[in-house]
Amino acid sequence: MKIGEVAVISQNGQQKDDFIRSICRKIDLKNERISFGKFDANDQLALHLYGLSIDDQDNDLSWDLISRKMLGYIVIFDWENQISLESIKPVVDNLSYNMRAPFIIIANIKEGKKPPIPSSFFKNKGIVLSTDFRFTFGQVNKPESARKSLRLLVDMLLERVNNF
Amino acid sequence: MHKTYKIFILDKDTTYMTPLVNGLQKAGFKVICWEGNQKAIDIARDVKPDLIISEVDLPDFDTYDFFNEIRSIQQYKTVPFIFFSSQKKVDDRIKNIEIGIDDYISKPFYVEEVVSRVKNLLNEVSGIEKAQGQTEKGFSGNLTEMNLVDLIQTMELGKKSAVIKLKHQNSLGIVCISNGEVVDANLEDLPPDKAIMRMFTWTVGAFFVEMVSVKLNRRIEKSNKKLIDIGVRRVNDWEQIKQGLPPLSAIVVKTNSNNFEQLSDLEKELLSGIKNKVRIYDLIEQSSLDDLKTLELVRGLHQKGYLQETEDNYSHYVDDYLKRLKAQAHNGKSPSERAQAIVANLFKKETSQRQQRIPDRRQQQDRRKYGRRSEDRCNRGNPVYLTKAELLMLREALL
């Protein structure tokens, strides 16, 4: 079986877990900072999601190890919380400077609240900020929304394969 | 003599109108209300208002037509226009901002908030008019691009005399320069030294420089060199401390923690002065301590969990977004380009840091000598190791 791996990063541990649960239905393994879930596309192909939380005091992820196997990254922050945005900025900086894999930034919005940018501005591709990353609004605890964000990442990988 | 501004209000809802009219009159404005028995545009022509407030959903009246008609009159092209509405949808608010409305207020509202927004808009317009009037004998600009330290250095270089006016939030500060030397500073009731220290930390807002001869007794004893040294240090420290805090426009509130043992006396004093919700900016301005010290204390209290942001900050966040949208509304970009520019702006700082981190030649030589650094190791990985067919399969499974 072929396995693809994606890291899901958020400041708030809950958001990464919600995202993984939305995609994989359940979390297979979990400790204080890392969680893990499997998504079987079919009997030959699976996607492994690794949830990583970052916190202000201890931002010591081993990026060089993580980067070796990741197809791409999903970075989540809480749209209503400026601290959450600030906390993911160093991660975004690190990913765009040090990593070559594409990533999606999800501004997580609460249920019932509309994102301030009308969805017509996004079409289906999110907001393209560079060849490496895109920005989108989403609700990580909603499977449909989480899958849409993950599809954006797969689309970016497909673009790379097509351009290769 | 101060000008009395005239506000023209179109709304028939007396529940909101009566307290608002009272509030505006109390703040010194002349208020004219539209009762609906005459054509609004005729009254507007007679009244010559300095600002117009209108309810969006008025029976038998097209507010958008009225707005377009007003804007088509040369004399009223820059008169600020505020819409009131009970519609809460952000899309509606964006739509209104996009057509050129200056501000949008949701009902129900606080009268104080509307009065404050009216004052801000009128200040903004009068600031622009003043700046336009001063272009011949001075210059104006944005504090983000040129802060007070830069302005003082420029004046010093040419040994110029000038009055520098700085506008930040609702405050207006003045710095007087004679033959290149800073001689005086005014900001509210602060002593000159404290006033200039506060203005050094203003990196958002506008400045107007009026090139006039200044003959004042020197009230600031420090030399320019000393002031610039302090200014540069303060700006750096300020920016560094700010990193650990929500935006300074955020509203914070005391938490219920009763354990004050780990707090210093100054932290306790600052905390005891907070009775209700307060903006971080206001907290700093109201404190008797030095601004930098207060900011540091606020950061400490926030990190220790004694202060926390309130739910109200969401609306500030959206307001901030709407302001940016408004600023970019007429620069010829398409809506999606504008959205992209605004979002890119959220992550702007990291881009500049990235540019700074490009290694110079010497660093590159060292790297060759001592082996690759960790970031290079990161770059060795990351091939797209799934085939196109596999990626398509994955995509399909995610549908």
The 3-state secondary structure of A33-86 reads CEEEEEEECCCCEEEEEEEEECCCCCCCCCHHHHHCCCCEEEEEEECCCHHHHH
Q: pLDDT confidence of B389, banded at 50, 70, 90?
A: confident
The tokens for B64 are 């958008």
Q: Residue A132 has what DSSP assignment?
A: S
Which residue of B309, B325, B386, B387 is the best one to mutate when testing the A interface, meaning the one whose CB has the most A CBs within 10 A?
Answer: B386
Residue B390 has pLDDT above 60, yes or no: yes
Q: How many CB atoms lie within 10 A of CB B89?
A: 11
Tell me if B284 sits within 8 A of B248, measured CB to CB: yes
Coil, helix or strand for B143? Answer: coil
d(CA B139, CA B33): 39
Question: How far is the C-alpha of A156 from the C-alpha of A72, rounded, in Å?
Answer: 9
The CATH number corresponding to A2-162 among 3.30.70.1560, 3.40.50.300, 2.60.120.10, 3.10.150.10 equals 3.40.50.300
Given a cut of 80, whether residue B336 has pLDDT beyond it is no
Pairwise pLDDT comparison (A128 vs B2), residue with the higher score? A128
Provide the β-strand partners of residue B30.
B6
- Residue B218 CB coordination number (10 Å): 12
Instruction: Spell out which residues of chain B touch residue A71, defining contact as CB-CB under 8 Å.
Output: 384-386
CB contact under 8 A, B354 and A2: no
Per-residue model confidence (pLDDT) at position B130: 54
Beta-strand relationship, A103-108 and A72-78: parallel
- Give the domain B244-313 fold: Arc Repressor Mutant, subunit A (1.10.10)
Interchain proximity A41–B385, CB inside 8 Å = no
Q: Which residues does chain A have within 8 Å of residue B348's beta carbon, measured at their own beta carbons?
A: none
Three-point CA angle B228, B231, B236, nearest 5°: 130
Please give the C-alpha separations between residue B153 and each of B26, B28, B156, B157, B187, in angstroms, as whole numbers: 43, 40, 5, 6, 20
- Of B271, B333, B346, B338, nearest to B301 by C-alpha is B271
Q: What pLDDT, on the 0 to 100 scale, is given for residue A17?
A: 92
**CA-closest candidate to residue B209, choices B178, B172, B166:** B166
Q: Which range has the top average pLDDT, A109-113, B116-120, B133-137, B219-223?
A: B219-223
- The gap between the terminal CA atoms of chain A, to the nearest Å, is 24
Asked if residues A67 and A99 have their Cβ atoms less than 8 Å apart, the reply is yes
Selected for mutation to probe chain B from A3, A62, A64 (highest B CB count within 10 Å) is: A64
Give residue for tokens 């700093």.
Answer: B284
* Continuous segment of H or E residues that includes residue B207: strand B206-210
B332-341: average pLDDT: 66
CA distances from B289 to B194, B270, B284 (A): 10, 9, 8
Q: Does B62 score more than 70 pLDDT?
A: yes
Q: Does B344 touch chain A (CB under 8 A)?
A: yes
Nearest to A157 among B250, B322, B384 (CB): B384
* Chain A residues inside the 8 Å CB shell of B347: 89, 92, 105, 129
Predicted confidence band of residue B32 (pLDDT cuts 50, 70, 90) = confident
Position B242 scores a pLDDT of 83
Average pLDDT taken over every residue of chain B? 75
Compare B357 and A113 and report the one with higher pLDDT.
Answer: A113
Average pLDDT over residues B32-40: 75
Check if the beta carbon of residue B192 is closer than 8 Å to that of residue B184: yes
Taking the Cβ of residue B90 and every Cβ of chain A, the question of whether any pair is shorter than 8 Å is answered with: yes
Measured in angstroms, the CA of A70 and the nearest CA of chain B are apart by 6
CATH topology of domain B6-123: Rossmann fold (3.40.50)
Q: What is the pLDDT of residues B272-294, one digit of tens each?
A: 888 777 878 888 888 888 888 99
What are B346-383's pLDDT values in tens digits? 776 544 444 444 444 444 444 444 344 444 444 444 45
The ranges assigned to domains in chain B are 6-123, 134-240, 244-313
Encode pLDDT of A59-76 as tens digits. Answer: 556 666 677 778 999 999
Task: Considering only residues B227 and B262, tell me which one the structure prediction assigns the higher pLDDT.
Answer: B227
Average pLDDT for residues A120-136, to the nearest whole number? 73
What percentage of chain B exceeds 90 in pLDDT?
5
The pLDDT value recorded for residue A118 is: 66
Q: Which residues of B touch A98 (CB under 8 A)?
A: 375, 378-379
Q: Are the CB atoms for A36 and A48 separated by under 8 Å?
A: yes
Interface of B with A in 20-79 (CB under 8 A): none
Question: What is the ipTM, given to two decimal places?
Answer: 0.89
Instruction: State yes or no: pLDDT of B126 exceeds 80.
Output: no
B58 or B25: whose pLDDT is higher?
B25
Percent of chain B with pLDDT over 70: 73
On the question of pLDDT at A148 being above 50, the answer is yes
Whether the bond between B108 and the residue before it is cis, its omega within 30 degrees of 0, is yes
| Least confident span in A15-19, B61-65, B295-299 | B61-65
Lowest mean pLDDT among A32-46, A79-93, B122-136, B166-180: B122-136
Tell me: the pLDDT tens digits for B160-192?
A: 888 998 887 667 889 999 988 999 999 888 889
Contact A10, A83 (CB under 8 A): no
pLDDT tens-digit map of B337-348: 666 777 777 776
Domain ranges of chain A: 2-162
Q: Does A160 touch chain B (CB under 8 A)?
A: yes
- What pLDDT does residue A128 have? 73
Q: Which residues 124-143 in chain A show a CB within 8 A of chain B?
A: 127-129, 135
What pLDDT was estimated at residue B157?
A: 82
